[in-house]
Amino acid sequence: MNPQPLAGKHAVVTGGGRGIGAAIAAELAQAGARLTLMGRNRSSLEARAQQMNAEVHIETCDVTSPDEVKRAFRAAQEALGPITILVNNAGQAESQPFSKTDLGLWQRMLSVNLTGTFLCTQAALPGMLEAGWGRIVNIASTAGLKGYPYVSAYSAAKHGVVGLTRSLALELARQNITVNAVCPGFSETELLEASIARIVQKTGRTPAEARAELARHNPQGRLVEPTEVAQAVLWLCLPGSAALTGQAIAVAGGEVM
């Protein structure tokens, strides 16, 4: 087996400074890819880049801003060449009962989770079409495949990501470019810690009780590790995954089948 099947490929990972994004970046780097890490916090990106044994470029970028996305992707291509792998990982989750979900929260969830995926994909796609090869992996959520209470805006946005994935996969099916979604269940990330803190604050449960409640959704009775999500992403990026497109793959211990 080729120990570096992605050698020579330039991969962009948004939200690459921590959590699932950082784990994805590590897997792609180990497979030989050159990396551009994008995120809003430059210090997190720099710290992550220093930990990696790979050619890494960093760009600060708010994925909800069309101008920032255009600038960041242009700079990434100038630094490391055409982008042929894009992992749309940047995202945000906020919870409120539907009756308390105001337009601001609704728009924030759509902007970062769905519009950001749209903008970054539009920025990267021309290079893939020119190269005649590409891999786009959108990090959605099990909330993009089913409903959860109190996260209607987030769930709607992630359902939109899955719909975008499926439609674009059909458009690009004859272009040697695959488009897939990976849908993690509750995972051990900073985002999860913030969710646990909100549960503790609103319900009076202990952190351990809140964590157990979230793990209960997984039939395996546990939380998903970021590396497990990252390995699914890597698999979809490999040259041998060409027949896999338009899929929404749950990494959730059997929660969604």
Distances from the Cα of 144 to the Cα of 53, 93, 155, angstroms: 34, 12, 6
Q: What is the per-residue pLDDT for 38?
A: 98
Q: What is the pLDDT of residues 208-253, one digit of tens each?
A: 888 888 899 999 999 999 999 999 999 999 999 999 999 999 999 9
CA gap 137, 135 in Å, rounded: 7
d(CA 5, CA 32): 7
**pLDDT over 80 at 26, yes or no:** yes
Instruction: Label residue 246 left, alpha or beta by phi (over 0 means left) and psi (-120 to 50 means alpha).
Output: left
For the cut 80, the answer to whether the pLDDT of residue 1 exceeds it is no
Nearest residue to 36 (alpha-carbon basis) of 23, 54, 18: 54
Average pLDDT of span 80-108: 96
Which structure tokens are listed for 70? 């255009």
Instruction: Write down the pLDDT at residue 243.
Output: 98
Q: How confident is the model at residue 199 (pLDDT cuts 50, 70, 90)?
A: confident
Give 100-133 pLDDT, tens digit per residue: 999 999 999 999 999 999 999 999 999 999 999 9
* Average confidence score pLDDT of the chain: 95
From the DSSP assignment, how many helices (H) and strands (E) are in the chain? Answer: 9, 7
Q: Which residues are catalytic?
A: 154
Between 64 and 53, name the one with better pLDDT. Answer: 64
- Map out the domains of the chain with their CATH numbers: 10-185+225-250 (3.40.50.720), 186-223 (no CATH)
Angle at 12 between CA 16 and CA 51, to 5 degrees: 45
What distance in Å separates the CA atoms of residue 179 and residue 172, rounded to the nearest whole number?
A: 8
Whether 190 shows a pLDDT value over 80: the answer reads no
Give the model's pLDDT for residue 128. 98
What is the structure's pLDDT at 234? 98
In percent, the amount of the chain with pLDDT more than 70 equals 100
